[in-house]
């Protein structure tokens, strides 16, 4: 029974990773077709680094992911502190608001934002050319916010509220108390939220697709356009490189989480 479970798990992982292996192999392929290996080459990687267009797209995606995750982290952490102080009906109402972008189908979120931007452009700015970095940033901050809030809230619940009182008794101003006592406690949640927001933003296709403009496009949106034609194999090289970047980020996140869990354990033991 146990062995059966392990074999099954292996097969499922094979299913999940087979397409990625195809892309990995395709990145070294001397032909265009993913299903035919015509010989080993590194030229796809060289092509990628020589192609200013795709580097531009990659830079765009990173700029958008970094700025939107930073903005969402700041706004979301403040919001989590505020929500934590709320009780009863008000808290439920705000949490419902937080859940809307999480449960709403992405295509509906994308469509609804595009309608809003068109409306604002036409009636307030008198222009049809509203789409661009600004609209993408707003859209990404909006769908990133819930992830930040949901990863900071549990940390707030774990934090002993008398810590802030103690800090103030010992002469801290509320602001000092926050930066010296609360923030270190919340830090793992904030970082986890920021990283999650960053990866969601980096890989978002559907919502970006409805809010981008050709002047400022992102990688996933452009890949969508490209996959309607035969895809230049340098994109497989880029996928492979991104895979390892994301792998490193996720391992880093794991280490932070593991350290935090150990810290919580120690705290529990000390409490006993």
Nearest Cα to Cα of residue 224 among 204, 240, 242: 204
CB of 59 to another protein, least distance (A): 16
Q: Under a CB-based contact definition with an 8 Å cutoff, are residues 186 and 231 in contact?
A: no
Phi, psi of 156 (to 5 degrees): -65, -35
Q: From the CB of residue 192, how many other CB atoms can be counted at a distance below 10 Å?
A: 21
CB of 120 to another protein, least distance (A): 10
Please give the Cα distance from 48 to 236 (Å, whole number). 9
Cα 169 to Cα 132, 160, 178, distances in angstroms: 50, 15, 13
The tokens for 76 are: 């979301």
The tokens for 40 are: 């080993």
CB of 270 to another protein, least distance (A): 22
Q: Under a CB-based contact definition with an 8 Å cutoff, are residues 44 and 234 in contact?
A: yes
CB of 245 to another protein, least distance (A): 10
CB of 33 to another protein, least distance (A): 8
Query: Running DSSP on this structure, what letter comes out for residue 151?
Result: H
């Amino acid at each position: 029974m146990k062995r059966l479970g392990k074999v099954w798990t292996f097969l499922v992982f094979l299913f999940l990773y087979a397409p990625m292996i195809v892309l990995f192999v395709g990145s070294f392929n001397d032909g265009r077709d993913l299903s035919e290996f015509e010989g080993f080459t590194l030229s796809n990687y060289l092509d990628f680094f020589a192609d200013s267009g795709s580097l531009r797209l990659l830079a765009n995606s990173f700029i958008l992911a970094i700025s939107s995750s930073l903005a969402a982290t700041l706004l979301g952490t403040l919001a989590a502190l505020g929500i934590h102080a709320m009780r009863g009906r008000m808290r439920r109402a705000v949490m419902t608001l937080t859940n809307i972008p999480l449960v709403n189908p992405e295509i509906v979120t994308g469509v609804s934002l595009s309608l809003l931007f068109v409306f604002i452009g036409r009636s307030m700015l008198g222009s049809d050319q509203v789409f661009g970095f600004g609209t993408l940033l707003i859209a990404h901050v909006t769908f990133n916010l819930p992830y930040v809030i949901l990863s900071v809230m549990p940390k707030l619940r774990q934090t002993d509220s008398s810590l802030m009182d103690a800090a103030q008794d010992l002469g801290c101003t509320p602001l000092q108390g926050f930066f010296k006592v609360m923030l270190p406690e919340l830090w793992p949640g904030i970082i986890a939220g920021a990283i999650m927001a960053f990866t969601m933003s980096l890989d978002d296709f559907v919502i970006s697709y409805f809010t981008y403009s050709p002047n400022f496009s992102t990688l996933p949106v452009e890949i969508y356009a490209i996959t309607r034609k035969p895809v230049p194999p340098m994109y497989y090289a880029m996928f492979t490189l991104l895979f390892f970047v994301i792998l490193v980020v996720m391992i880093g996140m794991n280490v932070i989480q593991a350290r935090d869990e150990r810290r919580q354990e120690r705290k529990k033991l000390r409490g006993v």
